[in-house]
A and B are shown apart, each in its own frame.
Chain A
Amino acid sequence: MNIVTIPLRNLRRKGLRTLLMAIVFGIGIMAVVALNYLSKTVGESLEKKLSAYGANILITPRTEHLAVGYGGMQLGDVSYDIKYLRERETVDAIRSIGHKDRISAIAPKFAVFEKVGGKPVALIGVDWEPELGIKSYWVVRGATPKAADELLAGHKAASALGLDTGATVVLRGATFRVAGVIEPTGSEDDNVLFLDVHALQRLSSAENMVHFVEVAALCAGCPIEEITAQLAEKLPDVEITAMQQVVKQRMMTVGFVKDLALSVSVVILLTACVMIALSIFSSVNERKQEIGVLRAVGFSRASIFFLFSLEALLVGVVAGVLGYAGGFVVSVKMLGMLDLAKDATLAFDFGHLGVTLAAVAALATAASAWPALKAARVEPSQALIML
């Protein structure tokens, strides 16, 4: 038995009011927790989906070249010193950066020019798995290549060379079968033939050489600048270009979802805090006589302040536990209903629960500060004489 006995017994006596106060605050916390989980999970899911629309970091050899073009007409590059990247070493270096968990795909490219039936065409050697991962927007008529002697033809290239699914074509002395044709994309992909990077390297006597590497990074948990800085540290002699616009657009989309959730959370929490403050105010007014008696038996102003803050704190902790559990359940149900979290995982986080409880306790105490101060300022005589 100590000072905690008084608020505990009073809350028990005013069971219905305590319950209502805990429910109101708990609903606020539930909404905030659910919004937080939803925005986090949906954000991750959105980012993964957005990443599927292409790479956002380009790694190229450091070259001295000038882009020749004017008025929107590109006339090609004038390269003084063509260099290659070493494929294995570059890919290993990328996989060893601190933020390696944020790298979703590494797609090396080897490009050569070739004449097919007298017509010039670019052959792009790719690693099929990551390539198809970052080009998920491709619609392939036929199938994607399964073997090293199969290729994919861009729509215009297939049309110009008279190629269709199942056709064969001889490239640098080796025969390749067209596994599929990519439907028009409106990009450079329409004009080229894609084949296995290692097959093309062998045919070009350039084993382990690539011209550039595209990297798809997830940037919800870190800025793109950090990833490029880590890449630059591991690959000091290459050019690393972050496609800022793409990245920023992705981060903006994810950020919008999170900002919206945060704004709604703040409004809900403020409303819940006002409810707590009003309830404690009403309690102070009802219990002036009690405050007077406590002051008359030697309770200090600080003890009275503590008593009322403790009441709000106890309600806050109960509401916090219930609200957090409710918020988690609601977010699981909502994600299931919205079918948004296919690519993201939702796990109960005890650390998050602890942080939430601490924050809720602080918030409830802060909300009760004003009425508790009012209680502490009650003069014993003021409370007792008027009775």
Chain B
Amino acid sequence: MLVVENVVKAYDPTVSEAKALDGVSLTIPQGVFACIVGRSGSGKSTLLNVLSTLLKPDAGRILYNGRDLGRMSEHELDTLRSSDFSMIFQLHHLLPYLTALENVLVPFMKGLKPISAERRKTAVACLERVGLAGKHDRLPGKLSGGEQQRVAIARALVVSPRVLFADEPTGSLDKKTGDAVMALLKELNAEGITMVMVSHQAEYAALASQVIELEDGRVKRPAWR
């Protein structure tokens, strides 16, 4: 469970109007499909980055399963990002010189120890899971936009995360591919992974069980379905 308590984040602390998040408080229970919505500049991506530990808040605190993320060491945060948390970006951000399978294995390439056969098997299974069986050896440049996003999802899944953060995962995809990606995310949520997604598309927000609407850095209307 993620608990956000009075979180403030300003990109330019000298200007009070520049607060991207202005006292945000909310709770995201384990297993929900939460969708952060709002107009452009309302603070959606900032909130997602703060929740996923990519960004540090200026004030307030975030508790993950009771642990204050602000009190965690750098090493603990690195570990959290490679175990419990995973992230999907709008622009998939695959490493262009690695194959699809190698991109999925990137979270395991942190040390000099060679990746085990078991982890390799898990990565292959993740690629198959997202519908990319037989495309393991393709470089991202040889895959379509939807396929690249699927590789990014497989990369996020390979560490068996408990929370999956997705920043407009369908933003750069066409309708059909976007629908397929959303269906996949719903499926993963149904399997128990907490989903925290930013989207400006109302039809995808409608699939969420919790909608967090932001306006000028404040929670306008938390809604449950």
Q: Do A and B come from one complex?
A: yes
Q: B110: which of A12, A303, A384 is its contact (CB, 8 Å)?
A: A303
Interface of B is mostly: loop
Assess A298 versus B91: contact at CB under 8 Å? Given A3-B110, A5-B109, A9-B97: no
A16 at interface by CB-CB < 8 Å: no
Taking a contact as CB atoms under 8 Å apart, the answer to whether B97 and A297 are in contact is no
In the complex, the chain B residue whose C-beta lies closest to that of A299 is B110
The CA-CA distance from A59 to B223 in the complex, in Å, is: 105
How many whole Å from A74's CB to the nearest CB in chain B?
Answer: 77
The CA-CA distance from A289 to B98 in the complex, in Å, is: 15
The CA-CA distance from A193 to B111 in the complex, in Å, is: 81
In the complex, the chain A residue whose C-beta lies closest to that of B83 is A298
Assess A6 versus B95: contact at CB under 8 Å? Given A298-B107, A384-B89: yes
B75 at interface by CB-CB < 8 Å: yes
Contacts of B80 in A (CB 8 A): 298
Taking a contact as CB atoms under 8 Å apart, the answer to whether B54 and A296 are in contact is yes
Contacts of A12 in B (CB 8 A): 97
Assess A381 versus B109: contact at CB under 8 Å? Given A297-B82, A298-B81: no
The CA-CA distance from A13 to B46 in the complex, in Å, is: 33
Assess A300 versus B110: contact at CB under 8 Å? Given A1-B115, A384-B54, A385-B45: yes
Contacts of B155 in A (CB 8 A): 297
A301 at interface by CB-CB < 8 Å: yes
What sequence of 0s and 1s flags, for each residue 295-324 of chain A, a beta carbon within 8 Å of any chain B beta carbon? 111111101000000000000000000000
Q: B112: which of A3, A9, A293, A301 is its contact (CB, 8 Å)?
A: A3
Taking a contact as CB atoms under 8 Å apart, the answer to whether A13 and B97 are in contact is yes
Contacts of B159 in A (CB 8 A): 297-298
A345 at interface by CB-CB < 8 Å: no
A169 at interface by CB-CB < 8 Å: no
A2 at interface by CB-CB < 8 Å: yes
Contacts of B106 in A (CB 8 A): 6, 293-294, 297
How many whole Å from B9's CB to the nearest CB in chain A?
Answer: 10
B105 at interface by CB-CB < 8 Å: yes
A73 at interface by CB-CB < 8 Å: no
The CA-CA distance from A344 to B98 in the complex, in Å, is: 52
Q: A298: which of B46, B82, B95 is its contact (CB, 8 Å)?
A: B82
A290 at interface by CB-CB < 8 Å: yes
A159 at interface by CB-CB < 8 Å: no
What sequence of 0s and 1s flags, for each residue 67-82 of chain B, a beta carbon within 8 Å of any chain A beta carbon? 0000000110011111
Contacts of A1 in B (CB 8 A): 102, 105, 109, 114-115
Taking a contact as CB atoms under 8 Å apart, the answer to whether B74 and A293 are in contact is no
Contacts of B87 in A (CB 8 A): 296-297
How many whole Å from B19's CB to the nearest CB in chain A?
Answer: 16
Assess A387 versus B91: contact at CB under 8 Å? Given A1-B114, A297-B107: yes
Contacts of A387 in B (CB 8 A): 91, 93
In the complex, the chain B residue whose C-beta lies closest to that of A294 is B106
B133 at interface by CB-CB < 8 Å: no
The CA-CA distance from A3 to B80 in the complex, in Å, is: 19
How many whole Å from A276's CB to the nearest CB in chain B?
Answer: 20
B113 at interface by CB-CB < 8 Å: yes
New A-B pairs, 9, CB < 8 Å, besides A6-B109, A293-B93: A2-B113, A9-B95, A289-B93, A300-B74, A300-B75, A379-B54, A381-B55, A384-B93, A385-B46
* A contact residues vs B (CB 8 Å cutoff): 1-6, 9-10, 12-13, 289-290, 292-301, 303, 379-381, 384-385, 387
16 A-B interface contacts by CB (under 8 A): A1-B115, A2-B109, A3-B110, A5-B102, A293-B89, A293-B106, A295-B54, A297-B81, A298-B81, A298-B110, A300-B75, A301-B74, A303-B110, A384-B49, A385-B45, A387-B91
